[in-house]
Structure 1
Amino acid sequence: MTQTPDPAGARGAVDLSAVAAMTTPGAATAGDGASAGPVPGQPAPAAPAQRAVPDGLVVEVTPATLQQALTRTVNVAGLLVLWSSSHPQTRQLIDTVAAVAARQEGRVLVLTADLSGHPELLQAFQPLLVQAFGQPTVPATFGLLQGQPVPLFPGIADEQQVGQAVEQLLQAAVQNGITGRVDLGPVPGGDADEEEAVSPLHEAAYEAIERGDLTAAAQAYEQAIAADASDEDARLGLAQVRLMERTQGVDLNAARAAAAADPADVEAACVVADLDVLGGHVEDAFTRLVDLVRTSAGDERDRARTHLLGLFDVVGAHDERVRKGRTALMSALF
């Protein structure tokens, strides 16, 4: 993927460490009232003289809508732009990303998050920013594939740089079977006959995911598998939906504390592994369960092994991390 420059030299980047130290969940950040940022839940406007951004292509997320928004990237590649309304210049990147995304005919969904306006989001994304770029720097852009963040670049970037990053993201999306599109209505000059047909059951699953109805999405995928046992897309989709169902409402800190308190607790380890995969820490999840398979026995060992195989399905058989994970599992078993 895209090389990530040093945050200290990233053009237009702002270190949010001071903001992170001052904010607490639910608190307002000084200067937010003067923000010219978008209204949460509404599409961000396009930059002047740029191609118009279709409604629904760019969405500002809030703590309440974050999980549902990430769920949409199971089927559609996503771009996540983190910015700060306390530093209005950081919003410049949203317009650039939106302009590039508008040329992709719905192949990319853009999510934006104001870390100053929503301190809960700052707390949620600060570890990711530090891991990716060394410090909580905004603006920062991540790719999103099946809800998993892929660091792209910190700071302000021009259209050419954003375009190159989007091209690489879409290539990775195709390799992982993520080929859905945001519903933007009819594409001018498009030919519906040339578009790849989507089965009604897959379409029903996509629509259910979009509205946050994971139960209906799972039922649609199950029906698709019952109708065609070789439908790998449905099997992958069902595994991803089941993961999202298992992690809904789970307290990350409490889950990690439980797993740390008893490393032999298979149930606690499986919960943390789920959260790791959902958060993009795939290798950590696989290593945790492989180690448990190696050190446990009987039903507990089989439970850890079965759960790990399910997570392999979530990530996808073509992912190099899955191939390595399967090798490690075989070594742990024999």
Structure 2
Amino acid sequence: MAESPESVERTIEISGAEPLLLFGFNDVYLRRIEAAFADTRLVARGDRLKLKGPSDQVDQIERVIGELVVILNRNGNLTENDVDTILDLARVGTGLQRRGGQDAILFTPQGGTIKAKTPGQARLVESARQSDIAFAVGPAGTGKTYTAVALAVSALKSRQVKKIVLTRPAVEAGESLGFLPGGFRDKVDPYLRPLYDALEDMIDSEKLRSYLERNIVEIVPLAYMRGRTLNTSFVILDEAQNATGGQMKMFLTRLGAGSRAIVTGDATQTDLPARAQSGLVQARSILEGVDGIAFVDFSKEDVVRHKLVKDIIEAYEKAGTGS
């Protein structure tokens, strides 16, 4: 290996985990990590791991090992999928390239790859890794919801969480779904359809049906979250600009042990009554700077829909109106 001037050597001691389970049989997991960071060498000796390579990659490998220890302690074992998922998230956050040049968040049943396509999406991935609650705020078409759902599915597949809960305010119905025709699913589907669409891209249809039946994946209107406590869950509040301040507080206080949340929304597109303040706007003024909570701003430069969407957003900004 040709060492660069910033090459370092570091030895870390593995504590709180069985090295054989962490490194894999015949160090198979270590070899996967080493292959992902091409300029590094990893050598295991008992409960000690020697790292040699560029300092930034050594730092990242140490974080990867730490996250794998957490998963091992939670589940009692590691799988190749666990290792690949953590490596994929690490690559997106640092710009390190996956084999084939892809920064993967998740691999789809069709053999495709979901990855961060814009700087805003990459910042959301990194913030979601480092913070228990991340707010993704910005215009439509920037992939906020899609990226959030991909992160949730990745966490479920790697067994970092036991369930996914996706929710949106049904504000057009005033959350009074009883006045709408049809059964419960008929009433809420129009408001939750975008979440179903994202999930159907990421999870095999039979498995998704099983997840929904067993409430491993749950999609509910925000009004139905009241009074619940969600443990070891990945929770997403979409279209959060349409949540009131009280609803936002209610949602955020549903989080239990081992849970994470992403809140997405566009503060310029609220459908709330004129006198009601958006809970998304209020949350930022109250919570920005709180440890463990991150705010990620998306801009028109992050738009991944039709090229005209970016021009439309810019035109509305020039006109001084967002609704």
Q: TM-score of the superposition, structure 2-length normalised?
A: 0.30
More helix by share: 1
More strand by share: 2
